[in-house]
Amino acid sequence: MASFNRVVLMGNVTRDPELRYIPSGKAVTDLGLAVNERRKLPSGEWGEETTFVDITLWDRNAEVAGEYVTKGSPVLIEGRLKLETWEKDGKKNSKLKVIGDRLVLLGGRSGEGGRGEGGGRSGRPVRAGSGGRHADADAPSTDGPSGGYDGDSSSAGGGDDDIPF
């Protein structure tokens, strides 16, 4: 039977990316992502559950994240799951993380549109991917929608069951 390992996550970055270069010259960045999910609780009330995910980005994705992403930035990550295992003090440890193949910046750049720190929601998404093609990060923004979900439930139609894609 064939296998398939793909994951798509959208959330907010939990810490500033840590851009570094390995001895071969490849860029690598580690960042955290908080993914929120609203669900109905057994009591009938709506509650929110947050999942924290560690992400590793390589090459151009890592450089773009290091330059444009800060704590709190809304991003979309597409990649694959990887289980890391290690032994410390005789105890086996493991951690499931995401190796990002595609990074999409969903918010505007800082200083745009007067919406305060972190930019507004009117900027075009910046795409960086392993396909060697990404949008120009310095392209002018439009006053239209950002092309991505901005976390504001009113822009997603206002319904509790609306999917922001």
Does 120 reside within a domain? yes
**Would you place residue 1 in the very low, low, confident or very high pLDDT band (cuts 50, 70, 90)?**
confident
Give the global pTM. 0.63
Does 2 reside within a domain? no
Is the Cβ–Cβ distance between 19 and 94 less than 8 Å? no
How many angstroms separate the CA atoms of 58 and 47, rounded? 35
Does 115 reside within a domain? yes
List helix spans (H) across the chain.
59-68
Q: What digits encode the pLDDT tens for the residues 106-135? A: 976 554 433 333 333 334 444 454 443 343
Higher pLDDT, 122 or 34: 34
List CB contacts of 105: < 8 A, sequence separation 6 or more: 64, 68, 69, 73, 74, 75, 123, 125, 126, 127
CATH number of the structural domain spanning residue 30: 2.40.50.140
Does 69 reside within a domain? yes
Q: What digits encode the pLDDT tens for the residues 142-164? A: 333 333 333 333 333 334 444 44
Does 119 reside within a domain? yes
* 98: containing domain: 7-150
Mean pLDDT of the chain: 75
Reduced to 3 states, what is the DSSP secondary structure of residue 62?
helix
Ranges 11-15, 63-67, 91-95, 106-110: which has the least confidence: 106-110
Per the structure block, which two tokens stand in for 62? 């890592």
Q: Looking at the 3D structure of the chain, how many domains does it have? A: 1
Does 51 reside within a domain? yes
Does 165 reside within a domain? no
